[in-house]
Amino acid sequence: MNLTTEPFTFRPPEHRKGLRLVLGILLSVLAIGGAAFGAAIIWLPRSLNYEVSQGRVVITSGLDIRPSRREIPLGSITSATAVHLKPGKRVNGTSLPGYCSGHFRFPDVGDCTLATTCSPEAVVIHVGERERPVVITPSQQEAFLSAVAGDSHYSETVLFDDAGGIWLALKAMTALGLAVTLIIPLLFFFSPSRLRYRVTPGHVEIDLTFSTKEISVSNCIARIYNPETSSKVMGSSLPGYHSGRFSLDGMATRVYATRLTDGILIESPDLRLFLSPEDPHVFLEALRALGNMEIE
């Protein structure tokens, strides 16, 4: 048994770290990376630029740090017309308030490539039979169409106002999501080493990741317990760390342990608590001395 310098303070047994470290690194990278990518899509500035010059239409869209650029030679355009789009759906791409980009499908246009402000007032550019039409939303449709027809110059940059209520809500959600993912490495790398049990007169104190729980064990019964079945109801269940509400042998049990075998079960009519001190027998003796309880 490992006792700290504090009397009646117990460590749980250490679980093999290999699997927990591998899973922790993998899940942390995936979760934090995904949340950071989502936050970048919402938080980073974006713009749209439509330009007609030097015999081509140039459409630039996306995040300002890495915009997407498409050039369409005027000679390859079979038609360019102003339309009022009926409601469609996104097939693949981005659909945010005031910014729609990617592969979309509309009943009046069919499959198309969008680089728009999501406005239904748009211009459809047809380029051959084998390519999807391109849909854009220049604010001056007649000037844009005249530039395409007459090979004259046109240039427009659309800057997005992301300070509205919907954008602020999206920013808050992505920031919160990123913060929540930071809990994953804490659970895998910090929580198991933080777990401690302290036996004090009439109570058991349990050090968890962010807090310490004090549970009254007076008039309870304690015994060594090895559950045959276990399942998590609510909480955390990782290799080497189990915390929350579980079902042990079909009965609701509060669990704070590094393993779900060879532990201590503390019971009363109002409590069913499972702990995994490194030396269960010495832990029972501490409960007998300070817990005011019955030991089986």
| pLDDT level of residue 176 (50, 70, 90 thresholds) | confident
- Residue 105: closest CA among 93, 119, 123: 93
Estimate the crossing angle of helix 165-181 against helix 17-43, to 10 degrees: 170
pTM: 0.53
Residue in this structure with the two tokens 């239904």, named with its chain if needed: 120
Is residue 150 pLDDT above 80, yes or no? yes
Cα separation, 102 vs 92, whole angstroms: 6
Amino acid (1-letter code) at residue 179: A
- What percent of the chain is predicted at pLDDT more than 90? 47
Segment 74-80 shows an average pLDDT of 92
Count of CA atoms in the C-beta half-sphere (13 A) of 274 = 26
Check if the beta carbon of residue 102 is closer than 8 Å to that of residue 121: no
Cα separation, 163 vs 66, whole angstroms: 22
pLDDT digits (tens, 9 = 90+) for 80-125: 999 999 999 999 988 887 888 899 999 989 999 999 988 999 999 9
Cα separation, 257 vs 157, whole angstroms: 59
Cα separation, 147 vs 55, whole angstroms: 10
The per-residue pLDDT for 4 is 41
| pLDDT level of residue 224 (50, 70, 90 thresholds) | very high
Q: Name, of 75-84, 168-177, 285-294, the range with top average pLDDT.
A: 75-84
The per-residue pLDDT for 153 is 92
CA dihedral 137, 143, 146, 148 (to 10 degrees): -40
Is residue 147 pLDDT above 90, yes or no? yes
